[in-house]
Structure 1
Amino acid sequence: MTDATLTKTIFINAAPERVWTYLVEPEKLARWFHEADSDLSAGTDYALLRENPDKPDPKMIWGKVLVSEPPHRLRYTFTHAFLNGHETIVDWTLESAFGGTRLTLVHSGFETFDGDVFDMLTSHDKGWDQHFVRLRTVAS
């Protein structure tokens, strides 16, 4: 079986403590990704909300925070309507690097998706790239 894991690393001109807040605080998540219904903290369920909350279901992405080790590691389950409830795992690692942060995303669990795995991988790959452009801008 082919590995179906996305791994992306970017560098952000800000300390890990600052970058961390953009991964877990609702109003800061909204600036580069989607607003959350609450802080992302270990053991809690979360939902990332649609830009138009008037739709019948305001949740766009949802899951459970599995690990929160500020400001170094965040891990949560991740699903949305296009995944038909199939849970994937998102792991974030933040490391100090030359006065800034090396941020690594590992998004795994696509290989067991009951559908077009390649389409899901390319869609998420493109989406993360677009979101990272905004994250670099707002967190720096």
Structure 2
Amino acid sequence: METETKTRTVVKERVLRHAPGKVWRALTQKHLIEEWLMRSDFKPEIGHRFDLEAEWGKVSCEVLAVEPLKTLSYSWAAHGLESVVTWTLTESATGTHLRMEQSGFGPGQDQAYHGATAGWTQFLDRLEEVIADLDKGDGQ
């Protein structure tokens, strides 16, 4: 009997009316990450290990790639899931095209896959609010 070894990926994309610099800030500044995602000790440095913490538990992460204003990637390990989250920012005429990809959902991880599919939609909604609030603040 052949074993299913395919992995699945959650992809979410948004077109934001904000410059890549503002989107990048919300993805990489600890106090802003806490507003839209979870508590963390994140630093945008390759090899930096950090945790994301929520009421339901902790996610262990490591920064894998940083290309300012373009790409951010980190491992995402929690509850038996070993995955990678990659953010890609592409400047557009009206702002930024943001793509989030979480890859590595294996067979038998349907609950994690469906949870991530719903969860990332909520996180991205909050991310948009945080970025919009930057407009009201310092204007950078």
Specify the TM-score bucket, using the shorter chain as the normaliser: 0.7 to 0.9
Point out the structure with the larger strand share: 2
For 1:48-63, list aligned pairs within 5 A: 48-50=52-54, 60-63=58-61
Write the mapping of 1:56-135 to structure 2, written as runs, cut at 5 A: 60-80=58-78, 83-84=79-80, 86-111=81-106, 116-135=108-127
Provide the C-alpha distance between the structure 1 equivalents of 2:42 and 2:8, rounded to a whole number of angstroms.
30
In structure 2, stretches of 5+ residues that fail to align are 133-140
| Residues 13, 51 of structure 1: alpha-carbon distance in 2 compared, 3 angstrom cutoff | farther
The whole-number CA distance in structure 2 between the counterparts of 1:38 and 1:104 is 20
Question: Is the CA contact 1:25–1:36 (under 8 Å) kept in the aligned structure 2?
Answer: no
Q: Which residue of 2 aligns with 1:10?
A: 14
Shift of 1:67: 0.3
Residue 29 of structure 2 corresponds to 25
Q: CA deviation at 1:63?
A: 1.2
Number of aligned residues: 128
State the 4+ residue runs in structure 1 displaced beyond 2 angstroms.
49-52
**TM-score normalised per structure 1:** 0.82
* Higher Rg: 2
Q: Cα–Cα, structure 1 residues 109 and 95, in superposed 2: closer, same or farther, change >3 Å?
A: same
5+ residue gaps, structure 1, are 53-58
Q: CA RMSD in A?
A: 1.9
Output the TM-score relative to the length of structure 2. Answer: 0.82
Report the identity percentage.
27
Letter aligned with residue 108 of structure 1: S
